[in-house]
């Protein structure tokens, strides 16, 4: 199965959790695309050409993926991650949300296929049967 991990990676905590998700999913034998592993870090960072290349590369990977795993840090997470989740929903790809923050937004959870409460739950989640689990926390 082909998985895309949608996640911010702007600080040490986000990178630590993202690394764990990558490790778990690759360890289970999935083909995994994580934008962090494919980012371009050269003299063009921040320029229009870099921006366009990054966007098109990540969008192509979303199109390639069968399932999107979203590491969600709450209501004020990352706009890029939210866009990836919305694009996945619009293209009929199931989104597995891993809720990591305290707050939440109904647009994320109502658009998700299932909701997990920790990255460790990816170890046992059945990606073949894709059971649904609604979000039980507070939403705004």
Taking the C-alpha atoms of residue 11 and residue 14, their distance in angstroms, rounded to an integer, is: 5
54 falls within a domain: yes
pLDDT of residue 45: 77
Give the residue numbers spanning the domain of 73. 2-123
Among candidate residues 102, 50, 92, 100, the one with its CA nearest the CA of residue 67 = 92
pLDDT tens track, the chain, 140 positions: 999 999 999 999 999 999 999 999 999 999 999 999 987 777 677 788 888 999 999 999 999 999 999 999 987 668 999 999 999 999 999 999 999 988 889 999 999 999 999 999 999 999 999 999 999 888 77
Taking the C-alpha atoms of residue 126 and residue 140, their distance in angstroms, rounded to an integer, is: 29
> Which CATH number characterizes residue 93's domain?
3.40.50.450
pLDDT of residue 62: 99
131 falls within a domain: no
pLDDT of residue 44: 76
14 falls within a domain: yes
pLDDT of residue 20: 99
Taking the C-alpha atoms of residue 41 and residue 3, their distance in angstroms, rounded to an integer, is: 23
Among candidate residues 126, 139, 121, 136, the one with its CA nearest the CA of residue 30 = 126
129 falls within a domain: no
128 falls within a domain: no
133 falls within a domain: no
Count of domains observed in the chain: 1
């Amino acid at each position: 199965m082909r998985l895309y991990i949608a996640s911010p990676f702007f600080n040490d905590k986000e990178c630590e959790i993202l690394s764990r998700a990558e490790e778990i999913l690759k360890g289970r034998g999935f083909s995994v695309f994580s934008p962090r592993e494919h980012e371009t870090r050269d003299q063009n960072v921040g320029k229009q050409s870099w921006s366009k290349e990054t966007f098109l590369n990540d969008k192509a990977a979303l199109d390639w993926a069968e399932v999107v795993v979203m590491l969600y840090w709450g209501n004020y997470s990352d706009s890029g991650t939210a866009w990836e989740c919305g694009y996945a929903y619009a293209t009929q790809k199931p989104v597995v949300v891993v809720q990591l923050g305290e707050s939440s937004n109904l647009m994320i959870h109502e658009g998700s296929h299932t909701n997990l409460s920790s990255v460790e739950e990816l170890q046992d989640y059945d990606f073949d049967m894709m059971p649904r689990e609604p979000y039980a926390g507070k939403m705004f």
